[in-house]
């Protein structure tokens, strides 16, 4: 493990307090309509403990909270990686272009996940990040975070853990959702469980085409499965037309779990 970490972060491992080496750079425009001074979040728990006491005011000043509305672009793929975003609330879909430039969802991030983590190893984002519902996230300048991680063994271990979690997510995406031998209702139930919001029974709504791309179905087939779930009371589609109902399904979680295990 130490060998791997040394290759990823040759600047050194294991200092008691990470040395912050700010760079002179042109500040990027705020990517969100609302930007606030930073409050307490899990990013602080990770980073603040290793920042030298005399540098804590600087650390706190460079981190900001952002409030993103529904379906807002946080960043585009191949754009300069200016910041890393720690999700505090909400969900974000990551899209990557495939053959012909067609954008497809490759992962969905939730609270505790990090948007743009690849900026630690690259100067450009690998995905487009778009919100599902309202999202609150705090941002850390990518160059500062890269320098900080180079001197923080704790942060390096955390990055390796997050990289492993992302790999497992990709494996789940392939084996649980898109395998053609799995019945379509089982695939759809597994996907809906994966899209659960924090409150436990609301499910983030993707378009029929997006869901079809994930589970390997045409939109019409996705619609038929959801209609059958609705008829059986497994998933409820509110007919009121409210903003909330357009963003979420209400799921019968035990029923979805039963279908997903078949």
Domain-by-domain residue ranges, the chain?
A: 2-175, 180-260
180-260 has the same fold as 2-175: no
pLDDT at 34: 56
pLDDT at 259: 95
Q: What is the pLDDT of residues 53-90, one digit of tens each?
A: 777 777 777 888 899 999 999 999 999 999 999 999 99
Q: Which CATH architecture has domain 180-260?
A: Orthogonal Bundle (1.10)
What's the mean pLDDT when you consider all of the chain? 80
Confidence of residue 231 (pLDDT cuts 50, 70, 90): very high
Q: What is the pLDDT of residues 2-24, one digit of tens each?
A: 443 344 444 433 343 433 333 33
DSSP string for the chain: -HHHHHHH-TT-S--SSBPP-----PPPPPSSSEEEE----HHHHHHGGGB-GGGHHHHHHH-EEEEE-TT-EEE-TTSB--EEEEEEEEEEEEEEE-GGG-EEEEEEE-TT-EETGGGGT-SB-SSEEEEEEEEEEEEEEHHHHHHHHHT-HHHHHHHHHHHHHHHHHHHHIIIIIS-TTS-HHHHHHHHHHHTB-TTSSEEEPPPHHHHHHHHT--HHHHHHHHHHHHHHTSEE--SS--HHHHHEEEE-HHHHHHHHT-
CATH 2.60.120.10 fits 2-175, yes or no: yes
What is the model's pTM? Answer: 0.76
Q: What is the pLDDT of residues 111-140, one digit of tens each?
A: 888 999 888 888 899 999 999 989 999 898
Q: What is the pLDDT of residues 176-202, one digit of tens each?
A: 787 678 899 999 999 999 999 876 889
């Amino acid at each position: 493990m130490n060998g791997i970490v040394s290759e990823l972060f040759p600047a050194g491992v294991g200092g008691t307090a990470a040395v912050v080496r700010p760079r002179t750079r042109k500040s990027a425009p705020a990517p969100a309509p609302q930007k606030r001074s930073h409050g307490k979040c899990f990013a602080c728990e990770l980073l603040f403990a290793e920042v030298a006491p005399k540098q804590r005011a600087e650390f706190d000043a460079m981190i900001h909270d952002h409030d993103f509305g529904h379906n807002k672009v946080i960043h585009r793929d191949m754009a300069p990686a200016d910041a890393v975003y720690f999700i505090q609330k909400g969900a974000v879909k990551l899209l990557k272009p495939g053959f012909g430039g067609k954008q497809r969802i490759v992962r969905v991030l939730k609270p505790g996940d990090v948007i743009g983590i690849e900026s630690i190893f690259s100067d450009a984002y690998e995905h487009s990040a778009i919100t599902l519902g309202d999202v609150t996230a705090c941002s850390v300048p990518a160059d500062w975070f890269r320098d900080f991680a180079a001197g923080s063994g704790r942060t390096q271990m955390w990055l390796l853990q997050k990289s492993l979690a992302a790999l497992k997510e990709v494996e789940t995406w392939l084996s649980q959702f898109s395998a053609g031998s799995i019945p379509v209702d089982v695939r759809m139930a597994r996907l809906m469980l994966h899209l659960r919001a924090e409150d436990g029974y609301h499910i983030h709504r993707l378009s029929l085409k997006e869901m079809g791309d994930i589970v390997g179905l045409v939109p019409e087939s996705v619609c038929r499965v959801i209609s059958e779930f609705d008829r059986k009371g497994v998933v409820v589609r509110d007919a009121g037309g409210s903003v909330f109902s357009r963003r979420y399904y209400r799921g019968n979680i035990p029923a979805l779990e039963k279908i997903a295990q078949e």
